Amino acid sequence: MTDATGDFFQKLAHRHHDRRLQAIDHGSVRFDISDRGRARHWLVRIARGRIWVAQVDSPRGGDAVVEADSSVFDRIARGEAYFLTTVLRGEATVIGSPHLFATVRKLFPPPPYRHADEMERSGGSHE
């Protein structure tokens, strides 16, 4: 199995810019991802849409902090769970700037669209 969390941050680092983050003049979010008693930390800095990502050794820094278990964050990173939903369910926590939280959630992929499920609920056909 791949490391969806590591892959997510690696791809984010290579993105360099995301126009959806233009509203953030400057800010940083630290992600503390725990796995069996050990934690990995990433610091994501954002300035007018520019993105810098670094894996850091200690849980320091960040205008906002996201904490999650690796299995939860892997689901988010793979697009199998919405970031906001995991926070509302208490599976992940966010501490700090609400503005950053609202904007940073745009970094994550949405769960895949389930066309067949939508068709069933709406009474349409699958064809």
**CATH number, position 75:** 3.30.1050.10
- Total domain count for the chain? 1
- Pairing assessment for the beta strands 27-35 and 64-69 based on DSSP bridges: parallel
In the predicted model, what is the mean pLDDT of residues 99-123? 65
| Helix (H/G/I), strand (E/B), else coil: 32 | strand
| Close Cβ partners of 24 (under 8 Å, ≥ 6 residues apart) | 46, 47, 48, 49, 99, 100, 103
Cα angle 19-31-89, degrees, rounded to a multiple of 5 = 95
Asked if residue 127 is part of any domain, the answer here is: no
At 37, the pLDDT band (50, 70, 90 cuts) reads confident
Predicted confidence (pLDDT) per residue in 51-76, tens digit: 999 999 888 888 899 999 999 999 99
For position 2, what pLDDT does the model report?
58
Q: pTM of the prediction?
A: 0.80
Rounded to the nearest integer, the mean pLDDT of the chain is: 83
CA distances from 10 to 2, 47, 96 (A): 13, 18, 24
Domain range holding 55?
4-121
Asked if residue 92 is part of any domain, the answer here is: yes
